[in-house]
Amino acid sequence: MFRWSDLTIRQKHIAWAWAFLAVPVLFYAVIRFYPTGNAILISFQDWNLLGSREWAGLDNYVKLFNDPEFWHVFRNTFVYLLLGTPISLVLSFVIAYHLDKLRFMHGFLRMLYFLPFMTSAVAMAWVWRWFYQPVPIGLFNNFLASFGIPQINFLNSTTNALPSVLAPAVWAGLGFQIIIFMAGLRAIPKSYYEAAKIDGVGWWTVLWEITIPLLKPTIVFIVVFSSIGFLRIFDHVFNMTTNNPGGPLNSTKPLVLMIYESAFSSFDMGYAAAQTVVLFVVLLAVSLLQLRILRDN
């Protein structure tokens, strides 16, 4: 008969470990791994939720690569990434760099910059959407009008809409990046700066020869983190264009919105699953690429 007291200390130890892990392992298997496999499987099937699941081979992927909407959306997604990541990286670095050198009201200023990070993307998307409205409603255009400057068509123009949607996303993430940069700046030993001071090196050289190289791990983290965020942009776009999601003329539509529409408006589950697989591959490739580039040189 099995008796707990017969077990050795090591066996008890193992039993405890597995007892602790039983529920979590089940959770990760059922809620993370099984769905991942299922998503890949569905991407090779033709299924509209009502009918039967039919094997479709590579049909969904072929359809995707021949779909002009997909390429448009793919381009948009990378525009979000290629505009959003550098802009937020430079802005947050410049702010953190100067804020770090300031003592007067330091805590208060840091709070102001961090506050937007604590807001909900949906709520702020609606606030910005209001700002962007034409006169007499929108705040920005009212402001411009009070100086006699011509109106800007923010959300209804195919060229302006994407940057307009991107702005609140950059704005909301800035505070987090500033805080991380400041932590990185504080971690640089003071002795480096003192040595540079003794050698009489200018601040520009100090910035490029000491600060930025030593901040590399922080920069890698922020670039990867914000890139993933911009590639997955959805909340802002969806809420700022609810009247015509991803519009005007698909000019703001990111990949995640296309996935959402394929799956939950057209109920083309196989097609949507194929898009999620593409998103996964893109995220993986972009993260690995950036880690490589930034680690190497």
Partner 1 sequence: MAVAEQIRPTTDALLKTEAPKRPRNLGQFLRWLLLFIGGIAMVMPIVYMLSTSLKWPHEVYNLKLIPDEPTIENYTYVLEDGRFYWWFVNSLVIALITTVCNVIFDSLVGYTLCKFRFPGRYIIFIAILSTLMIPTEMLVIPWYLMSQQFGWLDTYWGIMFPGLMTAFGTFLMKQFFETVPDDFIEAARIDGLNELQIWWIVAMPLVKPALAALAIFVFLGNWTAFIWPLIVTNSVEMYTLPVGLSSFGDEADVAWELIMTGAAISTIPTLIVFLIFQRFIIRGVVMAGLKG
H helices present in the chain, as ranges? 9-27, 34-42, 59-65, 68-100, 106-114, 121-131, 139-146, 161-186, 190-198, 203-206, 212-214, 216-231, 235-240, 255-264, 269-296
Cα separation, 123 vs 127, in Å, equals: 6
- Is residue 271 within 8 Å of residue 158, measured between CB atoms? no
Of 82, 207, 264, 289, the one binding partner 1 by CB under 8 A: 264
Token pair for residue 158? 């195919």
- The smaller minimum CB distance to partner 1, of residues 38 and 158, is found at 38
Options 151, 157, 158, 242; binder of partner 1; rule CB under 8 A:
242
Output the smallest distance, CB 249 to partner 1, in A.
Answer: 20
The position carrying tokens 């996964």 is 280
Widest pairwise Cα distance in the chain: 91
Please report how close the Cβ of residue 85 comes to partner 1 at its closest, in angstroms.
Answer: 16
Name which position in 101, 147, 150, 159 contacts partner 1 (CB under 8 A).
101
- Footprint (CB under 8 A) of partner 1, residues 104-123: 104-123
Of these, 81, 165, 259, 286, which contacts partner 1 (CB under 8 A)?
259
Tell me if 193 sits within 8 A of 124, measured CB to CB. Answer: no
A 10 A CB-CB count for 82 gives: 12
- Which residues touch 171 (CB under 8 Å, ≥6 apart)? 116, 124
Among 65, 82, 98, 266, binds partner 1 (CB under 8 A): 98
Residues 11-70 contacting partner 1, CB under 8 A: 13-14, 16-18, 20-21, 23-25, 27-28, 31-36, 38-39, 42
Report the alpha-carbon distance of residue 153 to residue 88 in Å, rounded.
24
Binding segment toward partner 1, per CB under 8 A, in 54-62, 193-201, 206-214, 277-285: 277-285
Number of residues that bind partner 1 (CB under 8 A): 94
Selected from 56, 124, 155, 185, the binder of partner 1 by CB under 8 A is: 124
Rounded-to-integer distance, Cα 168 and Cα 62, Å = 35
Dihedral sign (CA 263, 281, 233, 245): negative
Identify which of residues 193 and 260 has a Cβ nearer to partner 1 in the complex: 260
Distances (CA, A) of 276 to 106, 233, 241, 285: 43, 14, 22, 14
Residue 228 Cβ vs partner 1, minimum distance, rounded to whole Å: 8
Segment 170 to 189, residues that bind partner 1, using CB under 8 A: 171, 174-176, 179-180, 183, 186
Applying CB under 8 A, which of residues 46, 76, 276, 286 lies at the interface with partner 1? 276
Are 247 and 175 a contacting pair, CB within 8 Å? no
Asked whether position 169 contacts partner 1 by CB under 8 A, the answer is no
In the complex, the smallest distance separating the C-beta of residue 126 from partner 1, rounded to whole angstroms, is 5
Of positions 134, 260, 290, 294, contacts partner 1 by CB under 8 A: 260
- Residue 201 or 228 having the CB closest to partner 1: 228
Among 62, 207, 249, 284, indicate the residue that binds partner 1 (CB under 8 A).
284
Mask: binding to partner 1, 211-230, rule CB under 8 A, as x and -? ----------x------x--
Burial 28-39 (b: 16+ CB within 10 A, else e): eeeeeeeeeeeb
